[in-house]
Amino acid sequence: MRLFFVLFIFFILSILSIHAQQDLGLYYLDNVQQVQQTNPAIRPKFDLNIGVPALSGIYLNHFNTVFTPKALFQNADPTIIIPTNGALPELRTQHLKRMWTNRNYIGLHAKLDLIHFGFKLRENYVNFSITENASARVTLPGDLLEFPIRITEDYTQFDGNTQSFKGFNLHLNHYREYGVGITHPLNDYMNIGVKLKYLYGMENIDTRKNTITATYSSQDQTITTDGEIKINSSGISDAGNQSAMGYLFGKKNRGLGLDLGVETEFDDKTKFSLSITDIGFIRWKSNNRNLIASNGEIGDQVLDLSEQIFSSPTYSQDSIDAILNDISNDISGDGIYSFNENKYTTLLISQIYFGGIRELYSTPKLSGKASALLHAEVYNWRIRPSLTLAYYQTVGRWLQLTASYSYINRDFKNLGAGFTAKLGPFQYYLLVDNLLPLRRTKIQVGDDSDAIPYPKFSKTLHLKTGINLVFSKRKKNSRYFRDSKGNPTKFRKDTYSCPTM
């Protein structure tokens, strides 16, 4: 128990300065079998759970701490039109600079459960799943984001000074996982869970090293870079050249993964749980192409481009295209670039969950619970926590509702909601960790293109949904104590952390 409180104190101390991405609303939603994706020790309530193939678990998480339409544009009307030639919408450059920190992220994470089922086996619960995982993100240091803005304001302020771009990072990972897990009760008060995964990698981009710095010279208006960057990739250079079977099953990129969890009762109404998921690695061997680049010099074309975008009220698409073309020819011969096909290993982005839930009241048909959950993502050896407070309302065995409030991505404006509904053997669930992305701004490039809706001021978009088939044996014993006349008088509680299936 001491370990739980040490972790609790550690997360609270760090949560106000760091951030993470997550699946928060699912953690205590034990009506659905997908709860074990966050903690393999939490046992689903139904005896047999069968996911509808490719429909049982659909997960989407988009995060953006670099900009939002409200932060980027001075006038974020319902539709923002960015012309291909003419006046630019006014940018809120000073507001953006206040928004950025040393590490800023744009990314997307998607998961699809191809197969997912679980069943009671004596006192244990066993599950099996095949899941497709895809994630992509760009990490942008604050110096890199501010550089084109500040250099248009005053060239001389950077004269001879060095800016660090060491935080720049590219990440892409697409892999399939085959997992088998088991939940086992150690005693009446504690469950443990473990899930073993075989991983099959398909595409990857991994920034292995980045020590790049940049120095500006006002005398000849050049930017000189120093340091080295190494970017590994697998399955990118030959994309589209493989057969379908070779792509889906023939690559030699293999790895192992592990999920661990524990759940324990504190008293009759309270329990705590701790889990670590996605501990693992993938060894990339197929169709690798790794870049190593160091030192170089960029002339005044990149400065012209910055001025076109951030300073000039009007611009010409043709002129920007011309500048971009010149930039590719403006790098001096001092730069060193090389490629190799070496094998390399990447780690999964691990997730840590620690939380507690307490039953507030319980009747034969209704019950209410409140929870607090601390979550952390481990990415590039950095820990990025978030905090969620939630309420769960259960109506009989067919409906469960939840509402939540989260601190995510340095943002306190995250209100979530979700439900699970059981109609016969069919169970449908829907969860969102943030409802505010429903308020969107349409962004249109040119007069003839389609407008793309994008969350107006939210930094996080999250969705988890799916359909399962669920079955459970009827309990022979009554759920009530009875008085001397045989009338039910008191609700009988099953063991909370290890419910009878």
Q: In a 3-state reduction of DSSP, which class is residue 420?
A: strand
The residue assigned the tokens 């809120």 is 92
Does 317 reside within a domain? Answer: no
Does 486 reside within a domain? Answer: yes
Please report the pLDDT score of residue 159 as a whole number: 65
The CATH number of whichever domain residue 186 belongs to comes to 2.40.160
Does 186 reside within a domain? Answer: yes
User: For 371-393, how does the pLDDT look when each residue is reduced to its tens digit (9 = 90+)?
Assistant: 999 988 887 777 777 888 999 99
Please report the pLDDT score of residue 199 as a whole number: 97
Please report the pLDDT score of residue 7 as a whole number: 38
Does 141 reside within a domain? Answer: no
Does 238 reside within a domain? Answer: no
How many whole angstroms separate alpha carbon 374 and alpha carbon 20?
11
CB 53 within 8 A of CB 15: no
Q: What is the mean pLDDT of each run of 10 residues along the chain (501 residues)?
A: 38 36 72 92 93 93 84 76 70 79 87 95 95 92 78 62 80 96 93 97 91 74 78 84 83 96 92 94 93 68 55 58 56 65 93 93 90 85 80 88 81 83 93 77 76 78 91 61 45 38 31
DSSP per residue, 347-358: E--EEEEEEEEE
Q: Which residues contact 328 (CB under 8 A, 6 or more apart)?
A: none
Structure tokens at 450: 């389609």
Does 219 reside within a domain? Answer: no
How many whole angstroms separate alpha carbon 108 and alpha carbon 136?
5
φ/ψ of 307, rounded to 5, equals -70, -35
The residue assigned the tokens 């790049």 is 212
Does 283 reside within a domain? Answer: no
Of the candidates 418, 421, 422, the one whose C-alpha atom is nearest the C-alpha of residue 463 is: 418
Please report the pLDDT score of residue 420 as a whole number: 93
Q: Which residues contact 173 (CB under 8 A, 6 or more apart)?
A: 133, 134, 135, 136, 201, 203, 204, 205, 206, 282, 346, 349
Does 321 reside within a domain? Answer: no
Please report the pLDDT score of residue 175 as a whole number: 97
Q: Which residues contact 8 (CB under 8 A, 6 or more apart)?
A: 354, 374
How many whole angstroms separate alpha carbon 346 and alpha carbon 205?
10
Q: Give the count of domains, the chain.
A: 1
CB atoms < 10 A from the CB of 176, how many? 19
Q: Which residues contact 40 (CB under 8 A, 6 or more apart)?
A: 181, 182, 183, 193, 194, 195, 259, 260, 261, 275, 277
Please report the pLDDT score of residue 19 as a whole number: 39
pTM: 0.80
How many whole angstroms separate alpha carbon 421 and alpha carbon 400?
7
How many whole angstroms separate alpha carbon 93 and alpha carbon 71?
9
DSSP per residue, 104-148: EEEEEEEEEEEEEEEEEETTEEEEEEEEEEEEEEEEE-HHHHHHH
Residues spanned by the domain of 441? 2-136+165-205+255-274+347-491
